Amino acid sequence: MILIERANPEDAGEILTVQRAAYVSEAQLYGDPFIAPLVESLEQMRASIEESTVLKALAGGRIVGAVRARSSGRTGLVGRLVVAPDQQGLGIGSALLGAAEERLGPEVDAFDLFTGHLSEGNLRLYRRFGYRETRRERVHEHLTLVHLRKSAERPLPFPAC
């Protein structure tokens, strides 16, 4: 059973550990051990938890995943979706992404996120959730970011005639 709840600053160390473990494969994929999620400090993680919505996934009291979400105007920004390597493929990433969208949904008209161009698993997940590529941004010779967006779908307030 996975429980998803809002993280607090005391969770920063454990979330950072999960994040680093999850991003090792990304660093290997891109040949870059200095990608931002791997060099983020404990203080930066605490600040992120205090300044935005960070959700954590718990399995038996252990943090096994996390995602960040915040709004910028009418756009929900989703980032740093991570799942512990030994827990990947169990639907935790999907649950976290859905929870992030649900949290921001009433405040926004669309959701934006990005991932690396070689991160096929991430791209599949985001496309399954309805995200569509909007642009590509080359940030290094070895890395192109794929930016994706999805409309925030809301039910009609009352039945349409």
Parse the chain into domains and list their residue ranges: 2-151
Which option is the CATH number for 2-151: 3.30.360.10, 3.40.630.30, 3.40.50.1820, 3.40.50.300? 3.40.630.30
Model pTM above 0.85: yes
Alpha helices (H) in 8-158, listed in sequence order? 12-30, 36-39, 42-51, 92-104, 120-128
Q: Which single residue is written with the structure tokens 């009418």? A: 74
Instruction: Tell me what pLDDT residue 107 has.
Output: 86
pLDDT in tens, 18-56: 999 999 999 998 988 888 899 999 999 999 999 999 999
Instruction: Tell me what pLDDT residue 98 has.
Output: 95
- SS3 call for 74: coil
